[in-house]
């Protein structure tokens, strides 16, 4: 990967989606060929150090990124107590669709090819949202995801999908392998040896970022692998 320093244009954006406004960090690479929209997992936000690390690697590979909070601050406060909103996949997917539509209309991003990076429950939201925008979304990567929460919509996914799971995350491996059987388009599962659910072990998150970058390079451009 070319990790030479490059100018990144950074914006704090406010994205209107239906009755709410979502806050996000939009980082634009000057020669970007695509943009990856991050869908965070249960109890997480756009400040997730894991997703921010992956986003940095993707920008080094020539992509722009949008890390966005799919819940408002008020909803996050409620969810911290109840824990139920984070599992409302239809709500999260609807917000992701709204953010996707915003990207297609924003002058700075409307010409960029769009991919989704989903973690945990965010992976299910990404899969469901891709069914709503099959002609717009061109690649999906899931990290430690819960694709099973997409339910019967898995068989309607039309976007090339990569599932990345930790080798020591046995329950989630089983979930992802069963989900993979239901996805009917190009798909792949990668199991990172020695990694648990959060990929906190040395070198494991780097593997996630490398595999994600290669998947997006393959489907959002024709560049060489890293």
Q: Which residues of the chain have pLDDT under 70?
A: 1-6, 41-44, 222-226
Residue 193 maps to a domain? yes
Residue 43 maps to a domain? yes
Residue 45 maps to a domain? yes
- CATH number of the domain within which 30 lies: 3.40.50.1820
Q: How many domains does the chain have?
A: 1
Give the model's pLDDT for residue 47: 79
Can you give the residue range of the structural domain that contains 216?
9-220
Give the model's pLDDT for residue 73: 86
Residue 137 maps to a domain? yes
Q: Annotate the chain with DSSP letters as a single string.
A: --------EEEEEEEEETTEEEEEEEEE-TT-SEEEEEE--TT--TT-HHHHHHHHHHHHTT-EEEEE-SS-HHHHHHHHHH--GGG-HHHHHHHHHHHHHHHHHSTTTTTSEEEEEEETHHHHHHHHHHHH-TTTEEEEEEES--GGGGGGGGGG--S-EEEEEETT-HHHHHHHHHHHHH--SSEEEEEETT--TT--STTHHHHHHHHHHHHHHHHH--PPP-
Give the model's pLDDT for residue 139: 98
**pTM of this structure:** 0.92
Residue 44 maps to a domain? yes
């Amino acid at each position: 990967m070319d990790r030479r320093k490059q100018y990144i244009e950074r914006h704090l954006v406010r994205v209107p989606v239906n009755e709410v406004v979502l806050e996000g960090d939009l980082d634009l690479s000057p020669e970007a060929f695509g943009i990856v929209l991050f869908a965070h997992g249960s109890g997480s936000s756009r400040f997730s150090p894991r997703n921010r690390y992956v986003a940095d690697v993707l920008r080094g590979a020539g992509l722009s990124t949008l890390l966005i909070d799919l819940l408002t601050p008020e909803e996050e406060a409620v969810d911290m107590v109840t824990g139920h909103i984070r599992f409302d996949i239809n709500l999260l997917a609807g917000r992701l669709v709204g953010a996707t539509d915003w990207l297609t209309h924003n002058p700075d991003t409307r010409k960029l090819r769009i991919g989704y990076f989903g973690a945990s429950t965010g992976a299910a939201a990404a899969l469901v949202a891709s069914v709503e925008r099959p002609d717009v979304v061109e690649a999906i990567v899931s990290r430690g995801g819960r694709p099973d929460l997409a339910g019967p919509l898995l068989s309607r996914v039309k976007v090339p999908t990569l599932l990345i799971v930790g080798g020591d995350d046995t329950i989630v491996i089983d979930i992802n392998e069963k989900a993979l059987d239901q996805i009917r388009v190009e798909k792949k599962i990668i199991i990172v040896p020695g990694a648990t659910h959060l990929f906190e072990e040395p070198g494991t998150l780097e593997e996630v970022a490398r595999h994600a970058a290669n998947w997006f390079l393959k489907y959002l451009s024709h560049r060489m692998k890293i």
